[in-house]
């Protein structure tokens, strides 16, 4: 009886917490947690319904090249996802360790703020055409479950699922990283492209963190 009473109280508190969130991610998801390094980050949308996107991602026109509109389909077998699918990935594969969220931008961009749970592997470290040699590739791929065999062939048998992203639909960095990974044999069905990137993440008022896991207040 006591356990039943506790469960009822817990469900009521959970319902109240959910109702308190005006700006949810989906009707069913108000917020969720993700690990970023040694920190646990609460992922919740900005609750200020008057908030506007920050100026870094408000521009509509950038010189092309290099800032050209990216295709929805990067390569055969590589899935392209939106925000809901990214949230699902963060709650499942990222949470259980079978997947990794890759910020493929250069370190300067990563330091300015990243999507919680992301690790920074610049696109130049994942594509031989961008100068990545075997040593650079091995350092980048080892945390992703990929090893270099004695005969200098890549072993992808334990490769993790990867979601790669960069600054938005006009950013070519994550597509370049994906093409580089495909060129060395990374399984296409384990590569996922979050095309919206930072721009769409910010459009939906979702949080950013520093590389160390501190939440960034974009109003200051």
Cα–Cα distance for residue pair 213/219, rounded to 1 Å: 18
- CATH at 197: 3.40.250.10
Which residues constitute the domain of residue 75?
2-203
User: Which has the closest alpha carbon to 86: 164, 173, 13?
Assistant: 164
Contact between residue 28 and residue 91 where contact means Cβ atoms under 8 Å apart: no
* Inside any domain, residue 220: no
pLDDT (tens digit per residue) in 112-137: 999 999 999 999 999 999 999 999 99
Residue 6 has pLDDT above 60, yes or no: no
Q: What token pair was written down for 181?
A: 């990974």
pLDDT at position 150 is 87
* Inside any domain, residue 217: no
Percent of the chain with pLDDT over 90: 83
* Inside any domain, residue 185: yes
* Inside any domain, residue 216: no
Contact between residue 162 and residue 126 where contact means Cβ atoms under 8 Å apart: no
* Inside any domain, residue 104: yes
- How many domains does one find in the chain? 1
Cα–Cα distance for residue pair 31/206, rounded to 1 Å: 10
Mean pLDDT of 165-177: 97
Cα–Cα distance for residue pair 195/171, rounded to 1 Å: 9
Residue 84 has pLDDT above 60, yes or no: yes
Residue 16 has pLDDT above 50, yes or no: no
* Inside any domain, residue 99: yes
Residue 20 has pLDDT above 60, yes or no: yes
Number of neighbours of residue 184 by Cβ within 10 angstroms: 17
Which residues is 164 bridged to in the sheet? 102, 193
* Inside any domain, residue 208: no
pLDDT at position 15 is 45
Contact between residue 148 and residue 138 where contact means Cβ atoms under 8 Å apart: yes
Of 16 and 204, the one with more pLDDT: 204
Indicate whether this model's pTM tops 0.95: no
pLDDT (tens digit per residue) in 32-56: 999 999 999 999 999 999 999 888 7
**Phi, psi at residue 106, to the nearest 5°?**
-70, 155
Mean pLDDT of 142-149: 95
Cα–Cα distance for residue pair 215/174, rounded to 1 Å: 24
Cα–Cα distance for residue pair 167/101, rounded to 1 Å: 14
* Inside any domain, residue 218: no
The answer for residues whose C-beta is within 8 angstroms of residue 19's C-beta and 6 or more apart is none
pLDDT at position 19 is 52
Contact between residue 95 and residue 87 where contact means Cβ atoms under 8 Å apart: no
């Amino acid at each position: 009886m006591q356990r039943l009473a506790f469960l009822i109280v817990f469900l009521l508190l959970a319902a109240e917490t959910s109702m308190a969130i005006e700006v949810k991610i989906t009707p069913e998801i108000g917020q969720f947690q993700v690990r970023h390094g040694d920190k646990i980050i609460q992922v919740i949308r900005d609750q200020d319904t008057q908030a506007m996107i920050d100026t870094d991602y408000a521009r509509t026109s950038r010189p092309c090249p290099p800032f050209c509109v990216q295709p929805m389909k990067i390569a055969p077998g590589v899935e392209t996802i939106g925000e809901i699918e990214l949230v699902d990935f963060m709650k499942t594969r990222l949470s259980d360790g079978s997947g990794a969220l890759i910020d493929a931008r250069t370190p300067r961009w990563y330091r300015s703020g990243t999507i919680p749970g992301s690790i920074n592997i610049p696109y130049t470290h994942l594509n031989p055409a961008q100068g990545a040699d075997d040593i650079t590739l091995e350092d980048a791929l080892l945390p992703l479950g990929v090893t270099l065999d004695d005969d200098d062939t890549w072993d992808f048998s334990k490769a993790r699922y990867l979601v790669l992203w960069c600054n938005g639909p006009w950013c070519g960095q994550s597509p370049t990283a994906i093409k580089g990974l495909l060129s060395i044999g990374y399984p296409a069905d384990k590569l996922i492209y979050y095309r919206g990137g930072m721009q769409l993440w910010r459009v939906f008022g979702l949080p950013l963190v520093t590389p160390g896991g501190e939440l960034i207040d974009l109003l200051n």
